[in-house]
Structure 1
């Protein structure tokens, strides 16, 4: 068990070093969430506050989309996890790892947890940016802990899903294709950007099982009202556990160096 954890830790630390040593990754991690808040968040700036309060349950649209954008950012980290795996295949690193006694699931878990951790870096950046834009948040040790836990769970789930879908390929384009197929539908079928009051019935049905909706709603409850629905956290935990177990099984069977 100790040897297994040492191998996982080494692979995980490698994933994190790749983030911290990349200037372009830091530029993206810092600029992307701030631009989302400023440009998309300002799109409702002229909407009457009564309308926002009635349908969005807040008078500030940026406050509404902040938890949603935090959740969506964890969706996109899955793409980077699968890109990292494909890069290791193409450059021969994965082959060198797999000729050692390192279990295949350690490789998979390192990619997944590394991707989820990378996504969490954006959370404090977006919170600080929203405070600078005048958003009032319920920030307490409990609310921050619940927020980060929910984001970490959804990040693990989607990083696992991406890796499952691209585990048998070494094509650079595969993560982008998968992103186009699932990212936008998942984002716009959730309550990340708009309340489901505006959705048609068929879209409401999708939203009710979409993990992003649960993460966004939980984030709003802890950051705005301070009264979270703990069932949402349970749903995210189930999603995360199911995806990571499925991914571990598939990685042991299908993961091959190329």
Structure 2
């Protein structure tokens, strides 16, 4: 069995799992939409001049749209680790490990399965934002850069959470780690508010938070706000380091128990 063939077969399984679980698929769409509808609408009542002054747009939903898509890639990374947990508990991982399928193929199938789960939210979120009056520019190159940023972000966080799940024999640990990290990572980025809203110590974290990089690229597309071209490079470095660590852990510690 070739590594590519094993990856493709396992990746298709991850995708089929997404579409077969109708309720989970619907919740994948609803969760980020709830954020932009309720949280976004709660600040849209500010006077127009303050919205433009603080957020650079008269519609706050347009400001948080890129942040919510970036945050969704963070949260979908959790699903990659939980997929390994459930494959262990139901014995599927044991069956795969006795085949010639390389561990790298198993690792990448989980990572790309989680990334796919995050990417399918993009058209739904864009339609929801448009329904709330967010003007979406026609910028094909910008959208490609934005999608590339989200893919790199998803690969990075999925690799990190997979490394935790593969290294630990405690099936509850990956979820506990995610619960501890996800919200601080979201709130110490620029996903919800501009960096100048934060105290100095939070600004320092936001400046190196990968969610900030992906958010600012998306915000540059939606709000026509120029961003540093190096942001995509920073995300590529983040994804490469996280993937290298995840692969190392997968080779050494991936077990069926």
Uncovered stretches (5+) of structure 1, i.e. residues with no partner: none
Question: Within 1, Cα distance between the matches of 2:138 and 2:111?
Answer: 28
* Aligned counterpart, 2:95: 96
Q: Indicate the SS of the match to 2:2.
A: helix
* Aligned counterpart, 1:178: 177
- Retained in 2: the 8 A contact 1:116–1:152? yes
* Aligned counterpart, 1:136: 135
Superposition pairs of residues 97-176 of structure 1, within 5 angstroms: 97-176=96-175
Question: Within 1, Cα distance between the matches of 2:143 and 2:75?
Answer: 21
After the TM superposition, which segments of 4 or more aligned residues of structure 1 sit over 3 Å from their partners? 169-172
- Retained in 1: the 8 A contact 2:36–2:65? yes
* Aligned counterpart, 1:210: 209
- Retained in 1: the 8 A contact 2:167–2:249? no
Q: Indicate the SS of the match to 1:138.
A: coil
Deviation at 1:60, TM superposition (A): 0.9
**CA-to-partner distance for each residue in 1:194-242, whole Å, 9 max, x for gaps?**
0011111111111111000111111100222064432111111111111
Measured on the aligned residues, the alpha-carbon RMSD in Å equals 1.3
Q: Is the counterpart of residue 252 in structure 1 residue 234 in structure 2?
A: no
How many residue pairs were aligned? Answer: 257
Uncovered stretches (5+) of structure 2, i.e. residues with no partner: none
Question: Within 1, Cα distance between the matches of 2:168 and 2:18?
Answer: 23
Question: Within 2, Cα distance between the matches of 1:128 and 1:172?
Answer: 37
| TM-score of the pair, normalised by structure 2 | 0.96
Deviation at 1:57, TM superposition (A): 1.2
**CA-to-partner distance for each residue in 1:1-41, whole Å, 9 max, x for gaps?**
x9211111111111000001111121112211221111011
| TM-score of the pair, normalised by structure 1 | 0.96
